[in-house]
Amino acid sequence: MLGKSKWPLSIWDFETLRRGGYHYIDKTELVWQLANTLDMAFLSRPRRFGKSMLTTTLKCYFEGKQELFEGLRLAELEAQKGEGAWQKHPVLRFDMSESGHSSLQDLEELLNDQLRYWENTYGVCFEGGAQSRLRQLIQHLACSRGTGVVILIDEYDNPLTHTIEPHKAELHAQYKEVLRGFYSVLKGEMDKLRFVLLTGITQFQHLSLFSGLNNLFDISLTDEYNAICGVTHEELHSTFGEEIEALAKRHGVGRGEMDARLKELYDGFRFSPGGEEIYNPFSIIRALGTGRLKNYWFNSGLPYVVQTLMPGYWYDFRKLDRGVSAGEEELIRFYPDNSNPVPILFQTGYLTVKGYDPIMDTFELGFPNEEVKYDFWKGLIPLVLGVAKDTQSIFHVRDFVGAINGGDIDGFLAQLKALVASIPYSSLDVKNRPPKEERYQVAIYLIFQLAGRYVRAEVHSAKGRSDIEVITPDAIYIFETKVHSEEHPNTAEGAIAQILGMEYAAPYLASEKRVVAIGLVYDGEETVDMGWKELKA
């Protein structure tokens, strides 16, 4: 471990962190601002981004645990209140992720267990279902304590994102009904509540939350709260300057080079039009704490909602390297029948805000950093391609990479043919099934991304546009793909002739790299003809 203080590598609770003497980046000014300017708020953030730390910090603040905030910005702001400082409120915090979510009983037990914990904490016991007990508990606490109750619901949507598969439709509907009743208590008891915060990944409709709670303010895409979770550049370097210096020495590089590497790997998240870029706290803390620059987000596992939904999508993922756009309404809502994966990729952290067009009211989106991009291509795309659990396909990928590295064109074309043939297009819904040529081009592009090669799609030249270009340290491969049919017969030779005739290779002929034209012809099910011609040795 680097540094003298302990690193909170598995700590998500504010009180545990502060009492245990762990490193802490002071986010409490925004916490204080949130608690003292809003009555009800909703925050959407990806996994591993500090939502639980936020809710437990608020819990400690409203419980009046002044000693935990000593030396932090919140203590200074609270002191300015004078006699009104550190008012204590009864707090009810619910963590909706603490369940397997495989049956209606799981959800009922989750709610009852957490209600029982709070009833024991406050020395009461109520009868009835979860909805009734929550109402009675709020009423009792408000009356007996003479002050408003604070409600914190972490991962409010977790039961729903874990039951979105078609075969769980009945359970999903049951969960919605239970949660609709449970959350509706907040609307009925608003006059007894001091503050409410819900966190999650997305906004589910038909829960009587986002339409029923008129005062619920969504802070997810606001500039003001862009950095309430995550680590800003200034916070990182003012808090961990010495640790970054030690990390640079450990890796034998200068401070500037290490700063650039950390930024390239873990920075780049932005959740509002004018917000600054922020680091993923999960990854940057682990990098500093272990001294190793790894893909920590990837190793923590794919979000369940992504694992479930992405295999059903077919999308031209080549667009993501160029950037895509979406409206605010698309980004904040969850529509399970949507054939466009961009909203769920934003909500789960694979895409982030890169720009904003105020005239069109649209957000420009892209990958935040190299770690997330790696996670996307290495962890997510195999699900889309249908090769994530296919051992034979994994072997094909390994052989494919080996052939590319060795400059064995015939070898990697043979492996490419086998990989393309393994992709289960027939399992796609008709509404998601693209034209034959497009899905062939996209499949080749994704396979090269999976193999870790630099790929460009639809590269414009003076005379036209090449389908795919792959750049390795030693060579440049220019692909032209064709679909063969009786009405439109095509050959690999004809595809190569198009590369030559349209002069797609012209920009590269002066380079020192090997330049190769490759023609691939596809009949909708498999590669039927392929060939290549070396344009520059």
What's the mean pLDDT in 503-520? Answer: 91
Q: Same domain for 394 and 282?
A: no
Q: Are 429 and 518 members of one domain? A: yes
User: Is residue 381 in some structural domain?
Assistant: no
Query: Cα separation of 324 and 307, whole Å?
Result: 22
CA of residue 28 relative to chain centroid, distance: 24
Q: Which of 177-181, 209-213, 369-373, 389-393 has the lowest mean pLDDT?
A: 389-393
CATH code at position 121: 3.40.50
Which pair of tokens denotes residue 24?
């802490």
Is 483 inside any structural domain? yes
Residues 205 and 235 in one domain: no
Can you tell me whether residue 354 is helix, strand or coil?
A: strand
Check: CB of residue 422 under 8 Å from CB of residue 393: yes
By mean pLDDT, which of 34-43, 142-151, 416-425 is the weakest? Answer: 416-425
Contacts for 141 with CB less than 8 Å, ≥ 6 apart: 90, 92, 122, 149
User: Closest Cα to residue 369, out of 510, 270, 450?
Assistant: 270
Answer with the one of 159, 192, 220 that is the final residue of a domain: 220
Lowest mean pLDDT, pick from 9-18, 231-240, 444-453:
444-453
Mean pLDDT taken over the chain: 87
Q: Using DSSP, how many helices (H) and how many strands (E) does the chain show?
A: 23, 15
Rounded mean pLDDT, 262-270:
97
Is 2 a domain residue? Answer: no
Give the chain's domain count. 4
Domain assignment present for residue 157? The answer is yes
At residue 209, φ and ψ (nearest 5 deg) are: -100, -65
| pLDDT at residue 417, as a whole number | 77
| More confident site: 468 or 525 | 468
Do 158 and 261 fall into the same domain?
A: no
Share of the chain above pLDDT 70, in %: 87
Q: Are 444 and 468 in contact (CB under 8 A)?
A: yes
CATH number at residue 423: 3.40.1350
Q: Of the residues 220, 246, 272, which one is the last residue of a structural domain?
A: 220
| pLDDT in the model for residue 214 | 66
In a domain, 313, yes or no: yes
Read off the pLDDT of residues 517-537 as tens digits, 9 standing for 90 and up: 999 888 766 667 889 999 986
End-to-end CA distance of the chain: 49
Same domain, 242 and 211: no
Burial of 460 per CB tally in 10 Å (0-12, 13-18, 19+): exposed
In a domain, residue 264? The reply is yes
For 183-223, the pLDDT digits (tens) are 999 989 999 999 999 999 888 765 556 666 667 899 999 99
Decide which of 450 and 18 is more confident: 18
Whether residues 77 and 141 share a domain: the answer is: yes
Q: Which stretches of 271-405 are DSSP H helices?
A: 281-290, 296-299, 304-309, 318-322, 328-332, 342-347, 370-375, 381-385, 391-405
- At position 36, the amino acid (one-letter code) is N
pLDDT at 435: 63
d(CA 339, CA 420): 22
Higher pLDDT residue, 463 or 500?
500
Q: Are 353 and 478 in contact (CB under 8 A)?
A: no
What would the mean pLDDT of 138-149 be, rounded to a whole number?
97
Domain-located, residue 144? yes
Question: Cα(478)–Cα(466) distance, rounded to whole angstroms?
Answer: 7
Q: How far apart are CA 504 and CA 493, in angstroms?
A: 15
pLDDT in tens, 274-288: 999 999 999 999 999
Helix axes 391-405, 436-450, angle to 10 degrees: 70
3-state helix, strand, coil in the chain (%, to 5): 45, 15, 35
Residues near 11 by beta carbon (within 8 Å), at least 6 away in sequence:
17, 20, 22
Range in 94-98, 164-168, 215-219, 335-339 with the lowest mean pLDDT: 335-339
The per-residue pLDDT for 521 is 87
Span 398-440, pLDDT tens digits: 777 788 878 888 888 887 777 666 665 544 454 455 566 676 7
Residue 163 and residue 36 in one domain: yes
- CA–CA gap between residue 275 and residue 371 (Å, rounded): 21
CA 501 to chain centre: 43
Asked if pLDDT for residue 1 goes beyond 50, the answer is: no
Lowest mean pLDDT among 56-70, 353-367, 411-425: 411-425
Q: In which band, very low, low, confident or very high, does the pLDDT at 239 lie, cut at 50, 70 and 90? A: very high
Distance, in Å, from the CA atom of 373 to the CA atom of 387, rounded to the nearest integer, reads 19
| 278 and 348, same domain (yes or no) | no
Q: List, in order, residues 6 or more apart from 53 with CB less than 8 Å away.
A: 12, 13, 14, 17, 229
Q: Are residue 53 and residue 147 in the same domain, yes or no?
A: yes
Give the pLDDT confidence score for residue 341 in this predicted structure: 85
pLDDT at residue 2 in the model: 41
Q: Which of 243, 258, 290 is the last residue of a domain?
A: 290
Query: Do the Cβ atoms of 50 and 144 come closer than 8 Å?
Result: no
7 in a domain, yes or no? no
Mean pLDDT value of segment 485-513: 90
Same domain (yes/no): 333, 446: no
Which residues make Cβ contacts (< 8 Å) with residue 406, sequence separation at least 6?
none
Percent of the chain with pLDDT over 90: 57
Asked if 269 and 410 sit in the same domain, the reply is no
Pull the structure tokens for residue 103: 């049956």
Whether the predicted pLDDT of 46 surpasses 80: yes
Structure tokens at 318: 């080549």
177 and 42 in a common domain: yes
**Which structural domain range is residue 342 located in?**
302-371
**DSSP symbol at 359:** T
